[in-house]
Structure 1
Amino acid sequence: MCNKTVAMLAGVLFSLGLLQGCATAPQGMSAEQLLAANQVEFIRPYELSRTDVEFISAGPVRGESCASHLLADDATQDQALMRMKLAASERQANRVVLKRCEQDNEGGCSKRWWCEGDAYQMMPLQ
Structure 2
Amino acid sequence: MYGGDEVSAIVIDLGSHTCKAGYAGEDAPKAVFPSVVGSIDQMEVDDAANTDTNSGAAMDAKSNAKTPDSDKTKGKRKLYVGSQALGYRRDNMEVISPFKDGIVADWDIVDNIWDHAF
Q: Same fold (TM over 0.5)?
A: no
What's the TM-score, normalizing by structure 1? Answer: 0.24
Q: Normalized per residue, which structure has more strand?
A: 1
Which protein shows a greater Rg?
Answer: 2
| Greater RCO structure (CA 8 Å; 6+ sep) | 1
